[in-house]
Amino acid sequence: MVIVMQQGASAKQIAAIVSRVEAMGYHAHLVQGEERTIIGVIGDDRPIDRTQFETLDGVDKTIPVLKPFKMASRDMHAPSTQVALDGVKIGGPQIIIMAGPCSVETREQIIETAIAVKEAGAQALRGGAFKPRSSPYSFQGLGEEG
């Protein structure tokens, strides 16, 4: 179960919920976001009556999480940031396909790649200019001749 605290819930209200969860024999996983705090109840929480938390000060709602991987569940994380790119929302519920070269070398190369990417149905073109994970002694692009 995930307990979603009200926006602006006090530290005292949050601590009271965490204490109550732990007193019941569960582990409380606290996630403090920019706008609100959520508390994950870790353990088999099916026997818990959720209404006992929903009526407490500072609690907005509870969400049952019946998935086996509660910590990786989207319910345990704050909403994703969404960025609009020419009418396409990146970070939303849709899968966005971005494609392009690992290293942009020439104007012609990127234009040709952009056409192919668009024809293949991708929504965005990406291209690398510098790869910080690469060794400075490995390939560094074509430089002036490129």
Bigger pLDDT: 89 vs 120: 120
Q: What is the mean pLDDT of residues 51-66?
A: 88
CB contact burial 66-96 (16+ within 10 A = b; e otherwise): eeeebeeeeebeeeeeeeeeeeeeeeeeeee
pLDDT at 133: 59
Residues 54 and 10 in one domain: yes
pLDDT in tens, 137-146: 566 666 676 5
Residues 101 and 64 in one domain: no
How many domains does the structure of the chain reveal? 2
pLDDT of residue 103: 82
Residue 121 binned pLDDT confidence (cut-offs 50, 70, 90): very high
pTM value > 0.75 = no
Domain that holds residue 13: 2-76
Residue 70 and residue 53 in one domain: yes
Average pLDDT, the chain: 83
